[in-house]
Structure 1
Amino acid sequence: MNEQLLQYIWQFQYFNNAFLTTAEKEPLRIIKPGIINRNQGPDFENARIQIGSTTWAGSVELHLKTSDWEKHQHQQDKNYRKVILHVVYENDRPQSGIPVLELKTRISRSLLKRYNSLMQAQSFIPCEHQILKVPAIIFNVWKSRLVAERLIRKGMVIQQYQEANEQHWEESFWWLLARNLGVPVNADAFEAMAKTIPLRILAKHKNQIHQLEALLLGQAGLLNDSFEDPYPKLLQREYAFLQRKYGLSAIAYPVQFLRMRPGNFPTLRLAQLAAIIHSSAHLFSKLLEEESLKKAKLLFKANANDFWNYHYSLRDQSTYREKAIGSAMINNIIVNTVCPILFAYGCFIDKNRLKEKAIRWLEELGAEKNTITKGFEELGLSNTAAVDSQAFIELKSRFCDERNCLHCTVGNYLLKQEK
């Protein structure tokens, strides 16, 4: 037993509440268990109970043992003066002034056994042998909520961007897009790089692809070496001029190449990012107006400069291969950049159309394939669209891995089932 489980049991009244009495043997009736309090103070607020013939309204505090009240020094805290009931798992000592309700003998042993089984499971997810018992309608509603929660959580990062750039949505989109092209290893470095180059500077040079590359590669600290090839030397000269002109300082973040496939080399990804900027303007505004996912994806279908068809880095030459941004990366951009910022902007201006479009595009987009989605597929769960894979990633990372079963709809359903 722990306090989180005790709060869960009290919140949903998962105990035998027949003929309740306080520790002093006074008849007790729970009219309203209260609303859980996530802030400082008692665990539940706005509760209503009846003791004997008197009805009380106030707060409820929960502890594993009655003695925890004094151990936590609640008797000295004014926030606890409105507590009308002290609910404990075990009443280990008398308490004067506040009625005590002990639940130890009223909680189902099978519920505790199911909870302990989930907490101790060493499998892919705690409930992997039971998850298919959850009715499809319950699971699908939960998946929809998981996707919305994931978009809202990503929107909190965008809100931080907005606060940093004085509510400039195009700028925030630029930062988020750059971070996306750096995934996963160089995400922080690419974001830091983007924040050093305002869009107004990029706009002035968008028609000169080599100047865009010079800005991005130079600010990422990738033009500091000595080169033999004429093109990297050109980029160095361009960057030196632009750096002086705009008073730019390269980022301090190290950009990583180790254990990375050539197609994900930061040099190539930055060249592709420059190609996107070169081929499009006001991307965020265009995405707000676009309704077709197919047309939205075309905005990111850009070919890197010809130099990169023979290179993955600024040094070593390779055999010819066109370095267009692939469909997998475009899908990644839609999932991790476009849909989150559309949803966030829809929340900001209170436009359901934009929020619905973000979710619709996730429904239309093919599912992501990774170790997490593979794990759920092996359990027999369908993963056919990005909306499925995003739900699975959120479920695994925010609930399963953290053993947050008490706040998971699947965990709640399984805990309530009597075997």
Structure 2
Amino acid sequence: MKEEFLHFLWKYKLFSTTDLKSIAGEFIEVVNPGIYNTNTGPDFLNAQLKIDGQLWIGNVEIHLKSSDWYAHYHEEDENYDAIILHVVWSYDADVFMKNNLPLPTLELEQFVQKEVLVNYQKLFSKEQRWIPCEKQIAEIDSFLLNNWLERLYFERLENKAVFIKEVLSKSNNDYEAVLFKLLAKNFGLKVNGDAFFDLSNSFDFSVLRKVRFNQEQLSALLFGQAGFLEDEVEDGCYVKLKKEYNYLQHKYKLKPIRKNRFQFFRMRPNNFPTIRIAQLGALYFKHQHLFSQILEVSRLKDFYMLFSVEVNDFWKTHYTFETSSKKSPKRLTKSFIDLLVINTIIPLRFVYEQERGTINEEQLLQLMQQLRPEKNSIINKFSELKIDAKSAFETQALLELKNNYCSKKECLQCAIGNSLLRK
């Protein structure tokens, strides 16, 4: 048993309050269990208790054993001088206050119903499970689950916002520049995401602002900074780009990243970094003020229109600079645009609106609910447990649930775990 479980029991009063007595036989009435303190100091602050009819206001400290009071040196810490009740699971030693009077102590074990302990043991069984509640999660009330998923989704947005705010801080709060960096990272997907992010940081966004009206210069900037223009290739397009990049490199004192940062191995040709760089360049050539445009869009079909771009003629017949291929437009697919909306557009809009106090949570949810559910091993496993996601809103929430609650066994902080323990 963990002490956190005792915190949970006390916070939600999951014990018999009838004839609640201290070790010394004093009647205890919990008027208010207090404010749960996650910082240093007593576990619950400003609790209100009636002990033998006398109202006390102060702090409550909780331990597995009463002797833990001395093991943690609380008798030497003035932060614990205002303790009005010591709550323990097992009473194994007397504890005295500084005035040498015994500290009122409640032994919780005798007041907790057996069913609560059984439910706790089911969740925290040592049996290997994908998630602790995998045998019970299908029984959860749909209303509770939907409300919890909504909260989880916004927790996920808040977690993504931390990284976005760091990028904003390093970019002088230039949202256009940050959008480019985030899009670049997501154009690289998981395999090349870090390399694409390094590419976006390898030059000042002001350089892109100056060259984006010229498609050849924009392509030269991106491919040159990615290190793809350092070889000798006998192709007219390649030679032109290399010449253009040499000019830009000298003018703006550019330093490319290493080409070997980008992976081609075991990738579908449409996901080759060369194709994704070409598509990113086509997007920024088509839209000169992309961030202001995404702020005006709220329907998924309008995002599909906004991101509807084709690569230039060279890349329609190539996957790399060295070899040609059958002609194809190599447009951004709807499924790829969905990923951009999920991982870049909505999180960045969330931060932008949050900073200005204009956040429209309902609009963000509606947009997420228009997006098809993502497909990955985690979502597939939830489906096996009869938790079927109907949209990207639910898949994002389930990813948050698995990664930050289930995998860490934070069942006591989870609405599902709470419900199962109270059952």
- The TM tier, using the shorter chain, reads over 0.9
Alignment of 1:152-167 (within 5 A): 152-167=158-173
CA distance in 2, matches of 1:310, 1:172: 32
CA distance in 2, matches of 1:321, 1:114: 58
CA distance in 2, matches of 1:245, 1:82: 68
CA drift of 1:294 comes to 1.2
Alignment check: 8 A CA contact 2:298 2:367 kept: no
What residue in structure 2 maps to residue 411 of structure 1? 417
Distance 1:283 1:29, change over 3 A: same
| Residue type at the aligned position of 1:64 | L
CA distance in 1, matches of 2:338, 2:96: 63
SS at match of 1:338: helix
CA distance in 2, matches of 1:243, 1:50: 76
What residue in structure 2 maps to residue 80 of structure 1? 80
Distance 1:219 1:83, change over 3 A: farther
RMSD: 2.1
Alignment check: 8 A CA contact 1:340 1:358 kept: no
Dislocated runs of 4+, deviation >4 Å: none
CA drift of 1:219 comes to 2.3
1:330 to 2:337 alignment: yes
What residue in structure 2 maps to residue 191 of structure 1? 197
Match of 2:367 among 348, 361, 366: 361
| Residue type at the aligned position of 1:315 | E
CA distance in 2, matches of 1:113, 1:295: 52
| Residue type at the aligned position of 2:16 | N
Alignment of 1:233-272 (within 5 A): 233-251=239-257, 254-272=261-279
CA drift of 1:329 comes to 0.6
More displaced 10-residue stretch of structure 1: 31-40 or 315-324: 315-324
1:351 to 2:358 alignment: yes
Alignment check: 8 A CA contact 1:180 1:336 kept: yes
More displaced 10-residue stretch of structure 1: 84-93 or 270-279: 84-93
CA drift of 1:169 comes to 1.7
Match of 1:291 among 292, 295, 298: 298
CA drift of 1:364 comes to 1.4
SS at match of 1:113: helix
Per-residue CA distance 1:221-253 (angstroms, 9 max, x = gap): 333344343333333332222122112223469
| Residue type at the aligned position of 1:53 | G
| Residue type at the aligned position of 2:327 | Y
What residue in structure 2 maps to residue 90 of structure 1? 90
| Residue type at the aligned position of 1:262 | P
CA distance in 2, matches of 1:235, 1:87: 73
Alignment check: 8 A CA contact 1:162 1:169 kept: yes
CA distance in 2, matches of 1:44, 1:195: 46
1:147 to 2:168 alignment: no
CA drift of 1:91 comes to 1.5
Distance 1:20 1:373, change over 3 A: same
Distance 1:225 1:64, change over 3 A: farther
Alignment of 1:3-402 (within 5 A): 3-97=3-97, 98-120=103-125, 121-251=127-257, 254-353=261-360, 355-402=361-408
SS at match of 2:203: coil
CA drift of 1:390 comes to 1.5
TM-score, normalised via structure 1 length: 0.93
SS at match of 1:50: strand
Alignment check: 8 A CA contact 2:87 2:108 kept: yes
TM-score, normalised via structure 2 length: 0.92
CA drift of 1:313 comes to 2.7
SS at match of 2:320: coil
SS at match of 2:31: strand
Alignment check: 8 A CA contact 1:297 1:334 kept: no
Give the count of matched residue pairs.
416
Per-residue CA distance 1:9-34 (angstroms, 9 max, x = gap): 11111122222222232222211111
More displaced 10-residue stretch of structure 1: 342-351 or 247-256: 247-256
Q: Structure 2: which 5+ residue stretches go unaligned?
A: 98-102
Distance 1:311 1:77, change over 3 A: farther
Distance 1:242 1:411, change over 3 A: same
Q: Structure 1: which 5+ residue stretches go unaligned?
A: none
CA drift of 1:276 comes to 0.9
Per-residue CA distance 1:290-331 (angstroms, 9 max, x = gap): 233211222112112222223223333333332111111101
SS at match of 2:49: strand
Distance 1:276 1:22, change over 3 A: same
Per-residue CA distance 1:64-111 (angstroms, 9 max, x = gap): 112222222222233323222221111221101132221122223332
CA distance in 2, matches of 1:412, 1:285: 43
Distance 1:95 1:214, change over 3 A: same
SS at match of 1:148: helix
| Residue type at the aligned position of 1:116 | Q
Identity of aligned residues (%): 38
SS at match of 1:59: strand
CA distance in 2, matches of 1:46, 1:239: 66
